[in-house]
Structure 1
Amino acid sequence: MKEITKKYSNGEVTIVWKPEVCKHSEICFHGLPEVFDPKAKPWINAEGSTTERIIEVVKRCPSGALTYYLDKDASDAAEISASSLDETVPNGPRLIYGNIVTKNAAGEETRQHRVTAMCRCGSSANMPYCDGTHITNGYKDNQ
């Protein structure tokens, strides 16, 4: 299956959407309906809100189907070697902030920028990424 990636920009920030990764958590369009409207074509209107608000909502995408990059950083995104932050969400995914490259079992590499949600429950249909399955399967941390 060919991986589809769609990009939408307001001139400051580019929203990157990978439809096959999306698990329809609805966080995006409940959080920012003026940008994310599943009834519109195209369903993302990057000019519908401020760059700051778009970034805030995109960061909450649990599956990683929505990511973003600042347009001023696009030309040298591969050159950035910033520190990363690894955060564990209680009863949820592992969030890795920063620029990372993940490699799947087939050896295919995916570059992620800003925040990547990694599965901890072991039930994601989009391993190694979180698809929100932990919510429906009742995953709880060992405490």
Structure 2
Amino acid sequence: MEKQITKKYDNGEVTVVWQPHMCIHSTICFKGLPMVFDPRKRPWITPEGGTTDAIVEQIKKCPSGALSYYMNNEIEGPVELEGDTVVEILSNGPLLVYGNLKVKDTAGNETKKSQVTAFCRCGHSGNKPYCDGSHVKVKFEG
């Protein structure tokens, strides 16, 4: 299992939280806001490259939940979404759940999730029940 680290980057107003072990490499972040998210650079996240509103909107599009944020003037923690929970099946990819939810593991431990959570459908993830992008390597179809 990949080491579960968390990295944080801020522009003074918003802190971008990146959890690489959750990333499914959808490329949505850097295709949508390349001035902030550029995997060719180190660090690859430079929040001073975009407005706070643009960064927040781009993070909300992250299908795995590897990117999240919190406003620096608020207590650190996940930003909860309002509205209905939506489930989407990505062709040849994960099951995406948009909204606030609790995930209970086999030991009974609960983890709160908000925004978007990607669940493995291929059975090959090293981070089950979450998707880690293994579906690409195994050429999952479904």
TM-score, structure 2 length as denominator? 0.70
Q: How many matched pairs?
A: 138
CA contact (8 A) 1:85 1:96 kept: yes
In 1, Cα distance between equivalents of 2:17 and 2:110: 17
Q: Unaligned regions of 5+ residues in structure 1, if any? A: none
CA contact (8 A) 1:21 1:65 kept: yes
**What is the CA distance between 1:87 and its match in structure 2?**
1.6
Matched, 1:111 2:112: yes
CA contact (8 A) 1:9 1:15 kept: yes
CA contact (8 A) 1:64 1:129 kept: no
CA contact (8 A) 2:64 2:116 kept: no
AA aligned opposite 1:126: N
Tell me the SS of whatever aligns to 2:55: helix
Q: Percent identity?
A: 51
Seen in structure 2, the aligned counterparts of structure 1 residues 58 and 80 have a Cα distance that, compared at 3 Å, is closer
* Residue matched to 1:89: 90
**What is the CA distance between 1:64 and its match in structure 2?**
3.3
In 1, Cα distance between equivalents of 2:44 and 2:132: 20
* Residue matched to 1:14: 15
**What is the CA distance between 1:89 and its match in structure 2?**
1.6
**What is the CA distance between 1:78 and its match in structure 2?**
7.2
CA contact (8 A) 1:64 1:130 kept: no
* Residue matched to 1:140: 141
Q: Unaligned regions of 5+ residues in structure 2, if any? A: none
TM-score, structure 1 length as denominator? 0.69
AA aligned opposite 1:9: D
Seen in structure 2, the aligned counterparts of structure 1 residues 79 and 91 have a Cα distance that, compared at 3 Å, is closer
In 1, Cα distance between equivalents of 2:50 and 2:136: 29
Seen in structure 2, the aligned counterparts of structure 1 residues 59 and 131 have a Cα distance that, compared at 3 Å, is farther
Tell me the SS of whatever aligns to 2:15: strand
Cα RMSD of the aligned pairs, angstroms, is 3.4
Tell me the SS of whatever aligns to 2:136: helix
CA contact (8 A) 2:18 2:67 kept: yes
* Residue matched to 2:47: 46
CA contact (8 A) 1:62 1:117 kept: yes
AA aligned opposite 2:46: N
AA aligned opposite 1:129: Y
